[in-house]
Amino acid sequence: MSDSSLDALQIETPRLILRVPRLADLDAFAAMMTDEETARFIGGAAPREVTWRALMTMIGAWHATGVSMFSVIEKATGRWVGRLGPWRPEGWPGGEVGWAIVRDCWGRGYATEGAEAAMAFAFDHLGWIDIIHSIAPDNHSSQQVAAKLGSRNRGPGRLPPPFADSPVDIWGQSRETWQARHAPTREP
């Protein structure tokens, strides 16, 4: 993707805007990553300097590979409320759609709403044939999101360093499974 097409890339859901991250997202992203409970299952709490590198990795991945996490913007307020989307790091067990939403927005269905749009993007525009979600066995909230998306637990998996010692289950589904659930209904 060209820089101009990345700047224009935006997915809208009823309550959210998913767009390519930008440097202006750093303050909100850094605040999210200092919250230990929110960051618990996404690498742990991190100082601003580490979050800056994570943000630059996402921005750079968009430019280098044409795929990475989106920034999640709440339509009603214009506020940055998380990051989610397709992600395919080197050594990862598959093309993943992951999510992280700021804690004061938990329970609103934003992760499900945004991840559903990101999965449609990955299947329809990126041509992915399978999507995974790497979820810690004790991350029950993300397991519920994955189940609402139609994904199933495929069993234990392994992430590359520096996450190799963190237990994860690989949840996922194929494009065919996704399409069967999202086929347009026909009027009789």
Check: pTM over 0.75? Answer yes or no: yes
**CATH label of the domain that carries residue 151:** 3.40.630.30
Q: How far apart are CA 146 and CA 184, in angstroms?
A: 22
Residue 186 located in a structural domain: no
96-101 β-sheet, strand order: 10-12, 16-19, 70-74, 80-87, 96-101, 130-135, 168-174, 152-157
Residue 32 located in a structural domain: yes
Q: What SS3 state is found at 185?
A: coil
Residues of the chain with pLDDT > 70, as a percent, come to 95
Would you place residue 8 in the very low, low, confident or very high pLDDT band (cuts 50, 70, 90)? confident
Amino acid at residue number 61: A
Residue 75 located in a structural domain: yes
Residue 188 located in a structural domain: no
pLDDT of residue 2: 65
Could you report the per-residue pLDDT of 14-46, keeping only the tens digit for each?
999 999 999 999 999 999 999 999 999 999 999
Residue 157 located in a structural domain: yes
Q: In this structure, what is the dihedral angle of CA atoms 63, 64, 65, 69, given to the nearest 10 degrees?
A: -50
Total domains present in the chain: 1
Residue 124 located in a structural domain: yes
